[in-house]
Amino acid sequence: GQQVMQIPQYQHVQEGEDFTTYCNSSTTLSNIQWYKQRPGGHPVFLIQLVKSGEVKKQKRLTFQFGEAKKNSSLHITATQTTDVGTYFCVFTSGGSYIPTFGRGTSLIVHP
Amino acid sequence: KAGVTQTPRYLIKTRGQQVTLSCSPISGHRSVSWYQQTPGQGLQFLFEYFSETQRNKGNFPGRFSGRQFSNSRSEMNVSTLELGDSALYLCASSLSAPSSKDTQYFGPGTRLTVL
């Protein structure tokens, strides 16, 4: 069956340091989305990646989709306390339309 | 534009009871999806409705059901509640495409506690 790992589960950083979370799949993904959930809040859509090797940027956030469409990453440059939250990858594979959430990476930023 | 609204925000029930949760999508959005979020299992897809029809369904028992009305508002029902059903239930709306291919806008959720 489909196996997707999101790592790390937690990441503590000092404000100003960089942060990266990864989603790795054993099968080819159709597309991947990234969401952020602040503590006590609800998931908020960040980006969707569809093409092999796609790279998208939003200010300090960089999203990548691997060439084989089996992995994706979210990189935050120079973290700020406002970046605190849990980042989820959401994916589908094959002909499925069922969105599957990764377990999430919780980012803790120390001022 | 108003966001996705969910009612009630908090609910306490006892085992064996049933519960109905309500979701109003963003105006103009025709797709509504439901998710269960727990610390142990994370965020799991329950089902998606589009134009009053269930379009996709996750791997949950038949005790979990839903429906969508002509105005796109949706309800989900859980019958014969179990302790393990305690969770945050999130509703998300999107314009029309399957939820996995479209931007989803989440509501604040309903926190269900089963005693």
Residues B1-22 pLDDT 10s: 789 999 999 999 999 999 999 9
User: What stretches in chain A show pLDDT beneath 70?
Assistant: 1-2
Distance CA B57, CA B59 (A): 7
Query: Do B94 and B27 form a contact (C-beta atoms < 8 A)?
Result: no
Q: What's A45's DSSP letter?
A: E
Q: What is the b/e burial string over A23-59, where b = at least 16 CB atoms within 10 angstroms of the residue's CB? A: bbbeeebbbbbbbbbeeeebbebbbbbeeeebeeeee
Q: How close A111 comes to chain B (CA, Å)? A: 26
Each residue's pLDDT tens digit, B89-107: 999 999 987 777 889 999 9
Residue A35 confidence (pLDDT): 97
User: CA neighbours within 13 Å on the CB side: how many for A27?
Assistant: 12
Residues of B in contact with A39 (CB under 8 A): none
Residues of B in contact with A97 (CB under 8 A): 48, 55-56, 98-101
Distance CA B90, CA A42 (A): 8
Residue A4 confidence (pLDDT): 83
A20 touches chain B (CB under 8 A): no
Q: Classify A53 as helix, strand or coil.
A: coil
Reading phi first (left if > 0) and then psi (alpha if -120 to 50, else beta), residue B9 is in: alpha
Query: Do A37 and A53 form a contact (C-beta atoms < 8 A)?
Result: no
Q: Which of B42, B100, B107 sits opposite A103 (nearest CB)?
A: B42
Residue B42 confidence (pLDDT): 93
Report strand pairing: B10-13 vs B110-114.
parallel
Task: Scan for tokens 């849990």, then name that residue.
Answer: A86
Distance CA B72, CA B33 (A): 11
- Two tokens, residue A22: 């990864």
Q: Which of A43, A92, A103 sits opposite B106 (nearest CB)?
A: A43
Each residue's pLDDT tens digit, A75-105: 999 999 999 999 999 988 777 788 899 999 9
